[in-house]
A and B are shown apart, each in its own frame.
Chain A
Amino acid sequence: MKEQYLQEMQKIHVPTSLMEKTKQAMKEEENRLGLRVSVKKTVPFGKISVAAAAAVIFLLIVPAVSGREFITQEGNTRQEQIYLAGKEEVEIVRIEAEEEEAGLREWLTELVEKIGELFK
């Protein structure tokens, strides 16, 4: 019975027209869903290499070139050191001037006192 059933069933095939119509309907469904399941895409190896090299350049070299800007400790850059040195020097000069002024005032004060004593 089984063998006869197999023989009888094997005579049944999908009509060619139905097959073509169904494949067309499947393509339309793929387009509707935005799928491209029947096409295998591969990225060319060359494009991957170029992209990888660009990534390496961007991630390593760019920060190295602008690396000094990333050092945030105050006074580490030369410009900052110069500035601070200048600032310090100015400060020293100012202090010296103030001291000299104070010394002069003191001298004048003593002078005035002495002149006062002369006219007593």
Chain B
Amino acid sequence: MKRERLNMTSEEIIEAYADMVYRLALLRVKNRTDADDVFQEVFVRLVSNIQKLQNPEHVKAWLIRVTINCSKKHFARLEREDAFSMEELEDTGAEEEGYARAEGQGVVLTAVGKLPLKYRSVVHLFYFEEMSVREIADATGQRETTVKSQLFRAREMLEEMLKGEVHL
């Protein structure tokens, strides 16, 4: 079987996917300072891994998975440094620095930020990046049934939070 070769440079990749990575990082870590760190780490890692990537779809899935992993490591580091607690980060987030109301974020975005961490990525990838359940499962390393149940549960929670504020 002939192996596909990616015909994109690292510079082209960052131009194409920068916003996607940044939005996902920001959604997960909920403040710009940490999102900046995650963003930079993801694309520096791209440099040493670009040879393994075969096509644009593979690139997208790889970037999503690395963004999620880097943000997880970010949480683990903060735990060790005793800077924040996981509960604080996974909590409402509305008063988090540089995020939500302080940045003039919308109601729905604020509500998504309040979801448990594991639901936020899935909701963002499904509704904003318009990825299929299968694609999300591949990118996040989960089963399709897990992704489906997370989407279902997240939607229920969002509906509860946004009752009366947004037309559902």
Q: Number of A interface residues, CB 8 Å?
A: 26
Q: Let me know if B47 and A30 touch, CB within 8 A.
A: yes
Is B22 an interface residue when CB atoms closer than 8 A count as contact? Answer: yes
Interchain nearest-CB distance for A46 vs B (Å): 25
Tell me whether B26 and A33 are in contact (CB under 8 A).
no
User: Considering the chains assembled together, what is the distance between the CA atoms of A103 and B109 in angstroms?
Assistant: 128
Are B47 and A12 touching (Cβ within 8 A)? no
Tell me how far the C-beta of B12 lies from the nearest C-beta in chain A, rounded to whole angstroms.
Answer: 9
**Minimum C-beta distance from A68 to chain B (A):** 47
Closest residue to A36 on the B side, CB-wise? B9
Residues of B contacting A33 in the complex (Cβ-Cβ under 8 angstroms): 47-48
The digit string for B41-80, where 1 denotes a CB below 8 A from any CB of A, is 0011011101100000000000000000000000000000
User: Is B83 in the interface zone, CB < 8 Å from A?
Assistant: no
Kindly provide the distance from the CB of B106 to the nearest chain A CB, expressed in whole angstroms: 3
Contact of B47 with A29 in the complex, beta carbons under 8 Å: yes
- Residues of the A chain whose Cβ atoms lie less than 8 Å from the Cβ of B124: 9
How far apart sit A1 and B158, CA to CA, in the bound complex (Å)? 9
> Beyond A4-B107, A5-B128, A6-B128, is A19–B44 a contact (Cβ under 8 Å)?
no
Tell me if B11 counts as interface (CB < 8 A to partner A).
yes
Question: Which A residues are CB-close (under 8 A) to B36?
Answer: 15, 18
Task: Convert B96-140 into 0s and 1s, putting 1 for each residue whose CB lies closer than 8 angstroms to a CB of A.
Answer: 000000000111110010000000000010011000000000000
Interface contact B108-A8, CB-CB below 8 Å:
yes
Within 8 A of A (CB), among B117-168: 124, 127-128, 158-159, 162, 166-168
Q: Are B19 and A21 in contact (CB under 8 A)?
A: no
Supply 7 further A-B pairs (C-beta < 8 A) apart from A1-B162, A6-B128, A25-B40. Answer: A1-B159, A5-B108, A8-B106, A9-B109, A22-B39, A22-B44, A37-B10
The interface of chain A, by Cβ under 8 A from chain B, is 1-2, 4-9, 12-15, 18-19, 21-23, 25-26, 29-30, 33, 35, 37-38, 40
